[in-house]
Amino acid sequence: MQNDTWMTQPSSPLLLPGTEPQPWLQLVGHAESFQVGENGRLLKRHCEGEERCFRRLMEDRLSAFVPSFHGVVQHEGQDYTMMDNLLTRFHAPAIMDCKMGTRTYQEEELRLARERPKLRQDMYEKMVAVDPGAPTAQEGAQRGVLKTRYMQWRESLSSTTTQGFRIEGVRKANGECRTNFKRTKSREQVGEALRDFVDHDPRTVRGYLSRLKQLRHTLEASQFFRTHEVVGSSLLFLHDAAGRSGVWMIDFGKTSPLPPPLTLDHRTPWVEGNREDGYLWGLDNLIAILTDSLPPARTPGPPEP
């Protein structure tokens, strides 16, 4: 289950005797999924689809934008995907998780929901906690909602539908953590949250913009990206007081290969069956909103007399 408190506590460290603890903070996501490994690595509960994506990504031009993958390991009878802990590149970094795309569930989940509808009481309760008026009369009587219905409601409440991405969680440079972005929807609200994350520092924004534009360029040329539906994946933003910053793609648990010869452009609006995910459209909007948050460029004044 997703943790929706202010901050997830560090997972229990999995350390060799004598090794230094690695910095670790999980902003959002499934609380039981991660273990901190040694040598700057992280263990995430194994999922076959995600492992397949990591293996293919390591061979793709996108590899520079993905934490390095180090195979699958066993710990206490459980398989884990081993990857780089991106936090170890920074000192006390500010962190932001943005979930990309206009759709946060797979087409397959929609099909399953129709064939074998399963009511989720936990999702009904999460919905009521945010907006008691959100469930329909029938959902209220059942005290349950379908997962796809919950996901669609979350998409339209936040900026997922209107901007093609949403902020999931933020840890600011001063240590303050926030995950209450469920209603951060309009361009203005998103812009304000982004400016707050970077402490209104244009240099940090320029660093992120440069990296995001390189990422867009690489995505547009990536064979992996063209041939995969990328759903529920996030961009992890990190910057620190030393002026370092970076953005990486994480979470490929719901990224799936397309049946050949189908490919996606990731900008065409989704209609059921076309598998489009709106990822690049969201990235375009994210870049545009960040660009708008920069102070206007100074125009040269009249020449001195």
Ligand X SMILES: Nc1ncnc2c1ncn2[C@@H]1O[C@H](COP(=O)(O)OP(=O)(O)O)[C@@H](O)[C@H]1O
Under 8 Å between Cβ of 41 and 70? yes
Interacting residue with ligand X among 33, 161, 218, 227 (CB under 6 A):
33
Spatial distance between the Cα atoms of 58 and 192, rounded to a whole number of angstroms: 35
Q: Does 44 bind ligand 4IP (CB under 6 A)?
A: no
Q: Does 1 bind ligand 4IP (CB under 6 A)?
A: yes
C-beta of 27 vs 264, nearer to ligand X: 27
Q: Choose one: 14-22, 208-216, 250-258, 273-281; the region binding ligand X (CB under 6 A).
A: 250-258
C-beta of 96 vs 212, nearer to ligand X: 96
Q: How many CB atoms lie within 10 A of CB 189?
A: 16
Please list every residue from 212 through 241 that binds ligand 4IP, using CB under 6 A. Answer: 232
Interacting residue with ligand 4IP among 93, 253, 278, 282 (CB under 6 A):
253
Under 8 Å between Cβ of 216 and 280? yes
Q: Does 87 bind ligand X (CB under 6 A)?
A: yes
How many positions of this chain bind ligand X (CB under 6 A)? 20
Q: Maximum distance among all alpha carbons in the chain?
A: 79
What mask of x and - would describe binding to ligand 4IP in positions 162 to 201, judged by CB under 6 A? ----------------------------------------
C-beta of 8 vs 245, nearer to ligand 4IP: 8
Q: Choose one: 24-32, 116-124, 144-152, 180-188; the region binding ligand X (CB under 6 A).
A: 24-32
Please report, for residues 47, 85, 97, the alpha-carbon distance to residue 64 in angstroms, rounded to integers and kept in the order given: 22, 14, 18
Measure the CA angle with vertex 175, ends 172 and 178; round to 5°: 60
Helix extents (H) in the chain: 48-58, 107-115, 121-130, 137-142, 147-157, 160-163, 187-197, 202-221, 223-226, 279-292
Cα dihedral across residues 287, 180, 270, 50: positive or negative: positive
- The contacts of residue 136 (CB under 8 Å, 6+ apart) are none
Please list every residue from 220 through 239 that binds ligand X, using CB under 6 A. Answer: 234, 236
Q: Does 29 bind ligand X (CB under 6 A)?
A: yes
Spatial distance between the Cα atoms of 109 and 147, rounded to a whole number of angstroms: 8
C-beta of 68 vs 189, nearer to ligand X: 68
**275 closest CA partner among 291, 292, 288, 257:** 257
Interacting residue with ligand 4IP among 26, 27, 29, 228 (CB under 6 A):
29
Q: Which residue ranges make up the site for ligand X (CB under 6 A)?
A: 26-30, 33, 42, 67, 83-87, 95, 97, 234, 236, 250-251, 253
- Residues forming contacts to ligand 4IP in the complex (CB under 6 A) are 1-2, 4, 29, 104, 126, 147, 154, 232, 251, 253-254
